[in-house]
């Protein structure tokens, strides 16, 4: 499997969806890097709103015109990646630690396109990926104890053993669950814990899922599309 090629093909397809004069939100992660690189080659006359400092630096360095939600209340499109996507287009996101900002930007978009390689499609959320939870550094151990009631939380650490710090100045706790049967309810339960800023469950956010695979890319627009694709009918 050459997953990087699958990502690139899907990213290039997503970049072609951006039209002149659009206002477009950009997520974060390795697939979005490929989207930004493809956009830099196409050079659409669009304005982009990055959801992370890493995406902002890359997009700026490649010459894309940037703006912010302080200037634009509504976006035509949001392009982002995901760690897992299920048949309902519910997702786990946040391995890059930018899920709080990504939720805000996605909430301002008329249309949200998720770009993934086929390995990110799952029958049920939580099969492989933990749920990233952004928490306040204040009383982080207290918040972790509360999260432990729901799953198995682990504070995300960097190479030097110190906690990873998000663009918002907070920490990330990755919570592993045996099974996530009701993502919407779990999303709410996590966010009700004092000290939690936001979590990486994205429910009812994606409009389309663009999947890179062995023979190109496929756009999924419904649960039927998803099930047909994983059964090999598309």
pLDDT at 234: 58
CATH code 3.40.50.1360 region(s) in the chain = 3-123+203-230
Report pLDDT digits (tens) over 25-38.
999 999 999 999 99
CATH class belonging to 131-198: alpha beta
CATH code 3.30.70.260 region(s) in the chain = 131-198
Residue with tokens 């998000």: 166
pLDDT at 232: 84
Closest of 108, 178, 160, 165 to residue 134, by C-alpha? 165
Tokens of 51: 């959801």
Report pLDDT digits (tens) over 44-54.
999 999 999 99
Closest of 80, 86, 195, 190 to residue 131, by C-alpha? 190
Q: Output the CA–CA distances (angstroms, integers) from residue 207 to 94, 117, 135, 221, in the order listed.
A: 19, 17, 28, 7
In CATH, the architecture of 3-123+203-230 is 3-Layer(aba) Sandwich (3.40)
pLDDT grade, residue 179 (50/70/90)? confident
Q: Per the residue annotation, which of 4, 12, 84, 102 is the catalytic one?
A: 102
Q: Output the CA–CA distances (angstroms, integers) from residue 126 to 3, 115, 120, 216, in the order listed.
A: 20, 19, 11, 26
Res. 144: pLDDT tops 90: yes
Report pLDDT digits (tens) over 94-143.
999 999 999 999 999 999 999 999 999 999 999 999 999 999 999 999 99
3-15 vs 30-42: helix crossing angle, rounded to 10: 50
Closest of 200, 195, 194 to residue 175, by C-alpha? 200
Mean residue pLDDT of the chain comes to 96
Residue 162 annotated as catalytic = no
């Amino acid at each position: 499997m050459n997953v990087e090629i699958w990502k690139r093909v899907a990213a290039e397809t997503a970049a072609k969806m951006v039209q002149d004069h659009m206002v477009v939100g950009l997520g974060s992660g390795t697939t979005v890097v490929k989207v930004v690189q493809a956009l830099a080659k196409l050079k659409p006359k669009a304005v982009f709103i990055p959801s992370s400092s890493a995406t902002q630096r890359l997009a700026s360095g490649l010459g894309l015109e940037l703006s912010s939600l302080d200037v634009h209340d509504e976006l035509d499109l949001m392009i982002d990646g995901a760690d897992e996507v299920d048949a309902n287009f519910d997702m786990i996101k946040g391995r890059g630690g930018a899920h709080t900002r990504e939720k805000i930007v996605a909430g301002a978009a008329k249309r949200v396109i998720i770009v993934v390689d086929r390995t990110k499609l799952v029958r049920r959320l939580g099969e492989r990926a933990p749920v990233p939870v952004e928490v306040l550094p204040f009383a982080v151990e207290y918040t972790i104890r509360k999260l432990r009631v729901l799953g198995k939380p682990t504070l995300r650490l960097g190479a030097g053993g110190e906690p990873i710090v998000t663009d918002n100045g907070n920490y990330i706790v990755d919570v592993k669950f045996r099974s996530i049967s009701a993502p919407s309810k779990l999303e709410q339960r996590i966010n009700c814990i004092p000290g939690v800023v936001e979590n990486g469950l994205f429910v009812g956010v994606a409009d389309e899922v663009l999947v890179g695979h062995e023979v190109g890319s496929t756009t999924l627009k419904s649960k039927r599309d998803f099930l047909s694709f994983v059964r090999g009918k598309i």
